[in-house]
Amino acid sequence: MNGVPVTAIGSPLTLGPARLRNRLVSAPMERNYCEIDGTVTDRYVAYLSRRARGGAALVFSEASYVRGDGKGRLRQMGVDTDARIPGLARLAAAVRAEGALFGVELNHGGRTAQGAVSGFRPVAPSPVPCLPAGGELPLELATEEVYDLVEAYGAAAGRCREAGVDVLSIHGAHGYLVHQFLSPARNLRTDEFADPARFLDLVVEAVRERAGRDVAVGLRISAFEGFDGGLSAERTFELISGARLDLLDFLDVSAGSYEAGQWIIQPGEWERGLLAPYAEPYRALGLPVGVAGRISTPESAEAIVAGGRADFVSMARTLHADPDFPRRVLAGEPYRPCIACNYCIDRLGSGEPIPCSVNPQAGREHLGPPGAPAEKASVLVIGAGPAGLETARLLAGHGHRVRVLERAEHVGGRFALAAGLHDHPEYRRILEWCAAELDRLGVTVSTGTPVAGETLSRHDVDALVLATGGECHRPDLPGIGLPHVIDVRDWLARGEPAPASCVVWGADREGVAVAGRLASDGSRVLLIGAQPELAPDVGRRAKILSVPRLLANPEVRVLLESAVVAVEPDRLLVRTGGREEWVPASGPLLVSQGVVPRTGLLAACRAREPRLGVYVVGDAGGGGSLYDCFVTAEAVTRSIAEALAGGALPAGGPAATF
């Protein structure tokens, strides 16, 4: 994972009065870790402290609202009143205690802030609603009200300075208020603020005045908006070139807006570091320049800095997945990779603290890691999918003697099949990391080793972990046993060429992903699903490219809110509403109707009565996501440690499902 020297990103950097110990910045990232009123929590302090301890030079909190009507998330951090100062001071102290600098991004949501969240009618340069955020019509700010907002930015900067914040970044990107004034699609004014840079310049002046010269002040920008009629890269550069750069200490380049969200949070199928070419021209303006955008490996970060495209790199999801990424890559050590699944970002709208698919500790740092066990135990893990691999890794990391048995010839389970799809090119990285970690920890993983009830007697162990995954659910209907009816996972495992035509029955995430794979390989695809929309079990960001691409393909036909009620060799009986119709259907019928736990070994495991219990994890226990796999693995580790310390066996008796 770290095969090249990373000398450039390890060198210090000066941003005005602030000196960074390296070029790796923990970027602003909304997390839902505050109270409803925007107050900092113990969870937030522990989270940012952990990123600082991991070696980042500068740790930002998140886009923080400077006034209540600019609040865009239920648990977003506020810097809108003096009551926020003690919480900011706690964050600053915690981050600085770990050797990093602490930064806050000043923001107002403008048209993106919806009344259902903020409690206020949204305000904006012009009454242009933001449909992706909810579509509420904003009030157009009067001229004097714009000046009031300028003062709100300045007051927020003063609070941050009083709290001991080292770095302030004015959020001028991603379609928020400053960006709205810059955009020809959002600023339709005829007063002095028709000048797109007028509001930005006043905000920069107000923030600098209140922050003073001992706090670094920068500006985050979108290199382009990403939709027709929005700001182009050339026009954005022209506007920023004429701004009050003399009052700034750095620029930080991102991209996109709410109407082009794929440029804000880039999908995994896009190139790493793809925004670096857009950041490079800004270096000619004489300020240090940072850049964000799919910088998830030391190689991509080093290439950007050493190649002179930017002076520092801003990473959010990368450090969410592994807070020790900076320390590890600078030391040439392996790190836990972000797989760009966007599970974190897609959970923002829930109002609940955002998790990480591959790091169950993210957002739970305040609880502490599983404690060290009182003694070492022997554990047999049956199944080497993500849940089995992670359970084995955690247990071995605590010194337990662990062995893994897998019936397939490879590790990864059905997740390894997903890793082979065009939509998920980064998925393989987490499997490779898990396998490498088990090798480092000395865990024996035996593939091609089926386990039956009678073979369990050969293993005298203290605990058994059943991680045998799940199998396709096949509804009972006429023709379901015909030979052309195949589970989508079985079809992927066969590795056969795409057929000329086929039917995918099921519009869940697996069905949509496989339909996309087939369509891209040239198949004519009929996609039938009971769901009201494509892949409703996947968040908007995770399917922001795949679903539009599928729908735009003329060789794809989609029938939603429909059910297959009978199967024949060359046609299907499909019910839509109260109407049934025979639909021509040549080629294989690939079924994606959910997964049922594979627990055939559970009784045999229970019969062994290992002293520390039997544990069922992942799909075998009904878990439906990668996040579930990693969380249940951690739960097993905690439970075994508690049992060794003299606690009770897990709830559920001799076999506990996590």
Residue 228, in any domain of the structure = yes
Residue 583, in any domain of the structure = yes
Kindly tell me if the per-residue pLDDT of 506 is higher than 50: yes
Last residue of a domain, one of 367, 394, 419: 367
Residue 216, in any domain of the structure = yes
Q: What is the CATH classification number for the domain harbouring 195?
A: 3.20.20.70
Residues 446 and 582 reside in one and the same domain: no
Residue 560 CB: number of other CB atoms within 10 A? 15
Residues 501 and 460 reside in one and the same domain: no
Look up the pTM and report it: 0.94
Q: How confident is the model at residue 273 (pLDDT cuts 50, 70, 90)?
A: very high
The pLDDT value recorded for residue 648 is 56
Residues 159 and 23 reside in one and the same domain: yes
Kindly tell me if the per-residue pLDDT of 454 is higher than 70: yes
What range does the domain containing 115 cover? Answer: 8-367
Tokens 């739960």 belong to: 635
Residue 373, in any domain of the structure = no
Last residue of a domain, one of 337, 367, 397: 367
The pLDDT value recorded for residue 369 is 80
The pLDDT value recorded for residue 478 is 96
The answer to whether the CB of 356 falls within 8 A of the CB of 362 is yes
Average pLDDT over the chain reads 94
| Lowest mean pLDDT across 160-164, 313-317, 338-342, 606-610 | 606-610
The pLDDT value recorded for residue 646 is 79
The pLDDT value recorded for residue 2 is 58
pLDDT in tens, 346-362: 999 889 999 999 999 99
Kindly tell me if the per-residue pLDDT of 650 is higher than 60: no
Q: What is the CATH classification number for the domain harbouring 568?
A: 3.50.50.60
The answer to whether the CB of 9 falls within 8 A of the CB of 302 is yes
CA dist., res. 435 & res. 393, Å (int): 9
Residues 243 and 326 reside in one and the same domain: yes
Kindly tell me if the per-residue pLDDT of 653 is higher than 50: no
CA dist., res. 492 & res. 365, Å (int): 38
The answer to whether the CB of 204 falls within 8 A of the CB of 246 is no
CA dist., res. 91 & res. 41, Å (int): 9
Kindly tell me if the per-residue pLDDT of 652 is higher than 90: no
Residues 502 and 546 reside in one and the same domain: yes
Residues 23 and 133 reside in one and the same domain: yes
Residues 493 and 630 reside in one and the same domain: no
Q: What is the CATH classification number for the domain harbouring 625?
A: 3.40.50.720
Structural domains counted in the chain: 3
Residue 655, in any domain of the structure = no
Q: How confident is the model at residue 374 (pLDDT cuts 50, 70, 90)?
A: confident
Positive or negative: CA dihedral 624, 625, 628, 629: positive
Residue 658, in any domain of the structure = no
Residues 618 and 581 reside in one and the same domain: no
Last residue of a domain, one of 367, 398, 430: 367
Kindly tell me if the per-residue pLDDT of 370 is higher than 90: no
Residues 465 and 493 reside in one and the same domain: no
pLDDT in tens, 187-203: 999 999 999 999 999 99
Residue 585, in any domain of the structure = yes
Residue 653, in any domain of the structure = no
Q: What is the rounded average pLDDT of the residues 46-70?
A: 98
Residue type, 390: E
